[in-house]
């Protein structure tokens, strides 16, 4: 198959979240399975500054935006990947500096760029034009999130039956339904699409133009990043107002868990750690990493005290309100230590700073983001906290498993799909790999942590948990195989529909 992945982010070129990780890793895994795959994304400022080599293609794009024509061009680079024929997956970059040469991808200082709709109309039309100019002969176009929601619409309307687009199937992946690309209804004029599509079951959402809904309405298949999340978004509140269209299209809606790039996240080879370790050397290796992390974060070095970690955005979606509440209670009554890394809402910055100042021997906080420190937290902690209000997939719980750091999670989305709650039955079966709770409350989190620390106090139980976790395989190869099956099913169904 010939697959084109259209995305606004891909590591190492641009990233704000999980979309960048997926778009940087999945194409490489697909290529390693023998599929022909390429990527196309905007030439953001970060693309040109990331240090990866780029070259001009010599191809220019004249793109209609409303009543004007905007010129852009195409650059080419590659996703670095071991074992990929041709030394990497080709990546095409849509260059248009007025739209994309900006400090951030989507906005600054907490405010979206006012012309985001225009920027991604341009990008979507540029993708369509690039397919023709590059003669890509695409079997399936894999679009991702609202920034590419117009692509299935263009292929189903303006370019329906037009060579070389007439048999291109489309898959639209939801990475986080909360971000939808909602715009003023008059921005419909920028798309160039007929106003007849601005209706309640295709592009209109409470009087606005909604690009996420557009992708959901026109794509041949829809998926999201975990089976549980695919179920959850078909009803309120996680449907975010789009549960109706998701229910309507449930026959073509599925979920595939994201994979982990073990080339980057592997304690046996991780260069950020005080010492490397694997399942056979986990006890000594984690002890050394724990001592180094305690020292780095200014906490007393104590092997016996449980060390709890969190890495992520300091926002309620990630459950930071629950963590802060439990920390306040536990810091007064428990010897447990806490290490938190991330940035987010100012009120949580202030609260966590106060806790760190009040309990300097138990709470360490870094209000920034550091990838090397994130690796050391995964390796050095005993428990990793993810009490998310919702979580489409989650990656940190998968990193934690590989590093033998036992996750404590709320059973939602991808967390529910990947973490098996520890009890007598799951320990006996070898399935247990973490601790789960259901109610979104401080009490429920506190009770789950109490169960976790009881297990931590039993060396035999804890060793079994760590071994269970570290020996699991959440690599991209298994996820990529599922995507190949979904691509094949979608392509075959589109061919049958064309013949009918």
CATH of the domain at 139: 3.40.50.2000
Its pTM stands at 0.92
Same domain for 302 and 241, yes or no, is no
Q: Is residue 268 part of a domain?
A: no
Residue 449 lies in a domain: yes
Q: Is the pLDDT of residue 86 over 60?
A: no
Q: Which residues contact 114 (CB under 8 A, 6 or more apart)?
A: none
- Domain membership of residue 388 as a residue range: 279-473
Residue 331 shares a structural domain with residue 241:
no
Could you tell me if 461 and 482 lie in one domain?
A: no
Whether residue 83 is predicted with pLDDT greater than 60 in this model: the reply is no
Contacts of 316 (CB under 8 A, 6+ apart): 345, 389
State the Cα–Cα distance between residues 279 and 464, nearest whole angstrom.
11
Regarding whether 488 and 462 lie in a shared domain, the answer is no
Residues 246 and 371 in one domain: no
Residues 383 and 435 in one domain: yes
Percent of the chain with pLDDT over 70: 98
In a shared domain, residues 313 and 451: yes
Pair 249, 193 in one domain: yes
Domain match, 407 and 348 both:
yes
Task: Pull the structure tokens for residue 279.
Answer: 């399942």
Q: Exposed (0-12), middle (13-18) or buried (19+): which is 177, by Cβ within 10 Å?
A: buried
How much is the average pLDDT of 42-62?
Answer: 95
Number of domains in the chain: 2
Predicted confidence band at 369 (pLDDT cuts at 50, 70, 90)? confident
pLDDT band at 467 (very low <50, low <70, confident <90, very high): very high
Q: Are residues 168 and 209 in the same domain?
A: yes
> Is residue 85 pLDDT above 80, yes or no?
no
- Residue 194 and residue 325 share a domain: no
Confidence of residue 268 (pLDDT cuts 50, 70, 90): very high
């Amino acid at each position: 198959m010939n697959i084109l992945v259209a995305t606004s982010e891909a590591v190492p070129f641009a990233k704000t979240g999980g979309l960048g990780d997926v778009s940087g890793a999945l194409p490489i895994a697909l290529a390693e399975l023998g599929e022909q795959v390429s990527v196309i994304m905007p030439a953001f400022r970060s693309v040109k500054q990331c240090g990866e080599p780029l070259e001009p293609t010599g191809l220019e794009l004249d793109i209609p935006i409303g009543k004007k024509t905007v010129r852009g061009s195409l650059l080419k680079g590659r996703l670095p990947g071991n074992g990929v024929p041709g030394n990497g997956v080709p990546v095409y970059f849509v260059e248009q500096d007025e739209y994309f040469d900006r400090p951030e991808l989507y906005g600054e200082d907490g405010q979206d760029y006012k012309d985001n709709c225009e920027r991604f109309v341009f990008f979507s039309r540029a993708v369509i034009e690039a397919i023709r100019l590059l003669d890509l002969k695409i079997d399936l176009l894999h679009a991702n999130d609202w920034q590419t929601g117009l692509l299935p619409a263009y292929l189903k309307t303006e370019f329906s039956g037009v060579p070389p687009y007439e048999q291109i199937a489309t898959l639209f992946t939801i990475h986080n339904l909360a971000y939808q690309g909602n715009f003023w209804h008059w921005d419909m004029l920028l798309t160039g699409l007929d106003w007849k599509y601005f209706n309640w079951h295709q592009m209109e959402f409470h009087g606005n133009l909604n690009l996420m809904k557009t992708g959901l309405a026109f794509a041949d298949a829809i998926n999201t990043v975990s089976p549980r999340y695919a179920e959850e978004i078909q009803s309120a509140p996680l449907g975010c107002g789009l549960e109706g269209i998701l229910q309507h299209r449930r026959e073509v809606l599925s979920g595939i868990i994201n994979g982990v790039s073990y080339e980057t996240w592997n304690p046996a080879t991780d260069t950020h750690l005080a010492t490397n370790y694997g399942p056979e050397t986990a006890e000594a290796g984690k002890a050394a990493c724990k001592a180094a992390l305690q020292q780095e974060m200014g906490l007393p070095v104590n092997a016996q005290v449980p060390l709890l970690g969190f890495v992520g955005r300091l926002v309620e979606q990630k459950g930071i309100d629950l963590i802060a509440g439990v920390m306040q209670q536990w810091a007064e009554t428990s010897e447990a230590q806490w290490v938190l890394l991330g940035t987010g809402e100012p009120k949580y910055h202030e609260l966590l700073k106060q806790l760190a100042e009040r309990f300097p021997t138990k709470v360490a906080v870094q209000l920034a983001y550091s990838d090397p420190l994130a690796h050391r937290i995964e390796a050095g902690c005993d428990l990793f906290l993810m009490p998310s209000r919702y979580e489409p997939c989650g990656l940190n719980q998968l990193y934690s498993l590989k590093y033998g750091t036992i996750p404590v999670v709320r059973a939602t989305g991808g967390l529910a799909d990947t973490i098996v709650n520890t009890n007598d039955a799951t320990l006996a079966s070898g399935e247990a790999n973490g601790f789960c709770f259901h109610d979104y409350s401080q009490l429920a989190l506190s009770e789950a942590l109490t169960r976790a620390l009881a297990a931590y106090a039993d060396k035999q139980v804890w060793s079994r948990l760590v071994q269970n976790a570290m020996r699991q395989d959440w690599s991209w190869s298994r996820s990529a195989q599922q995507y190949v099956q979904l691509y094949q099913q979608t392509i075959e169904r589109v061919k049958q529909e064309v013949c009918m």
